[in-house]
Structure 1
Amino acid sequence: MREGPNIAAIAAMVGDPARANMLTALVNGEALTATELALEGGVTKQTASSHLSKLEAAGLIAVEAQGRHRYYRLADADVAGLLETLMGVAARAKALRTRPGPKEPALRRARLCYDHLAGELGVALFDAFKKNKWIVPGPEKTFALTRLGRVKVSTFGVDIAELEQGARPVCRACLDWSVRRHHLAGALGAALLENIFERGWAAQRGTSRIVEFTRYGETALQRAFMFDLNAL
């Protein structure tokens, strides 16, 4: 009998179409009710409840009770990273879902990937970190901040020492499903997006995954991290 992680069990959990749609709906970090997730999965409330129990038992989602309601979210950033990577592979393999209605350019421009910035702006930001030698490659898609990089992000208002005390990798590459290149994830990716929100440069559009930058905010981001989106 083989020993080690049973990836087949996790793949089976994610591979069911209804469960896959439910998990995808949670990638932006939002917590949703079973009713909302049933609509996302295209199943009845009873069937959704069964799926959610299995996902919770598999450690892919967590549940939080508030009053009479139970809210479901992804278990952690690792699960979000797994889903975003799968979305990238699916896009590259042209395994795309077709939904009625207009395409959403804003979703491709800038969006949430769990708790960090994805889309064209997220990829351009990651490219800038590599081009300016603020990060260097590490093991398993992680990156380390260089001395110049530490100065850059500290100047932007990020407490590097605090990020390094956590269990989460500081810098990690996350495959972007729309651009099909990597954007910046990890604790630093989350901290940068939080800082962007605090500066008022951008905001999340309602409950969607779209991150809307102000005209000033997008210009300020590109100036702060020395990149021109149109030139990358």
Structure 2
Amino acid sequence: MNLSTFTKADDDAWQLEKSLSAVASAIADPSRVSILCALMDGRAWTATELSSSANIAASTASAHLSKLLQNELITCLSQGRYRYYRLAGSHIAHLLETLMGVSMKPSRLPVTRTPAHLRVARTCYDHLAGKVAVRIYDFMLEEGWIEPDGSKLTPAGKLHFQNMGVITNPHTRRKSRCACLDWSERRFHVGGDAGAALLIFFEQKEWLSRVPGYREVIITEAGKKAFSHVFRVDFDW
């Protein structure tokens, strides 16, 4: 390229390509993928916990964490003498969910390899995913709680949330989009601030419980009745 014709747009494009390549490189390692997947439960983990989860040495985990931090895929929080790591935000979780869906895309009819208990219910960073979450999204769409394009809650949806006692954050800076692609079901579940608010509500009502340190979610008997009554979720699967 002639340097005299090198414009700011060319520089911006080059910087974008360089940054994209760096992020792709940061993810392109099985151990780092294991670390990122562990952090998908939305909690903060120590380096020791992550090294055990990824089945690698502590020194190796430290190098991987440095690369993930460098590329802003994770953040580090210091509390006392401990350092905790977590995903940099819901946008990183959404990226990972999308990549999972792409990587498991079959050449023929869909046959998911996701463990059965995770297909039913699991966390997707700070909201619920799996069959239950997909059915809740379908219900909300059918009842007009969500805009047809999945972009946000409708006024009716906001009113239903309010009447149920589901509290959303009116000052959130995250994207309000409700539709989040579920990589095991290949359909949408409720994400964004609405999905995060629902998960908090479900936990408070004890309709479900989270397995510490894992993405697995257990639907309680009371939860099955409530999900069936409120969202018409059929647990006969």
TM-score normalised by length of structure 1: 0.85
In structure 2, the residue matched to 1:34 is 47
Q: Which amino acid aligns with 2:55?
A: G
In structure 2, the residue matched to 1:220 is 226
SS at match of 1:133: coil
Consecutive unaligned residues of structure 2, counting only runs of 5 or more, are 1-9
Consecutive unaligned residues of structure 1, counting only runs of 5 or more, are none
In structure 2, the residue matched to 1:149 is 157
Q: Which amino acid aligns with 2:214?
A: S
Q: Which amino acid aligns with 1:3?
A: D
Q: C-alpha displacement at 1:227, in angstroms? A: 4.4
**Structure 2: how far apart are the matches of 1:171 and 1:156?**
21
Q: C-alpha displacement at 1:137, in angstroms? A: 4.1
TM-score normalised by length of structure 2: 0.84
Listed as ranges, the matches of 1:134-145 within 5 Å are 134-138=145-149, 143-145=151-153
Q: Which structure's CA Rg is the greater one?
A: 2
Listed as ranges, the matches of 1:1-232 within 5 Å are 1=10, 3-4=12-13, 5=16, 6-93=19-106, 104-138=115-149, 143-160=151-168, 163-228=169-234
Q: How many residues align?
A: 220
Q: C-alpha displacement at 1:2, in angstroms? A: 5.0
1:38–1:45 contact (8 Å) kept in structure 2:
yes
Q: C-alpha displacement at 1:40, in angstroms? A: 2.9
Give % identity: 40
Cα deviation per residue 1:56-109 (whole Å; 9 max; x = unaligned)?
111111111223321111111111111111112222248x9x9xxxx8422211
1:128–1:225 contact (8 Å) kept in structure 2:
yes
Q: C-alpha displacement at 1:151, in angstroms? A: 1.8
**Structure 2: how far apart are the matches of 1:170 and 1:156?**
20
Q: C-alpha displacement at 1:220, in angstroms? A: 0.6
1:85–1:174 contact (8 Å) kept in structure 2:
no
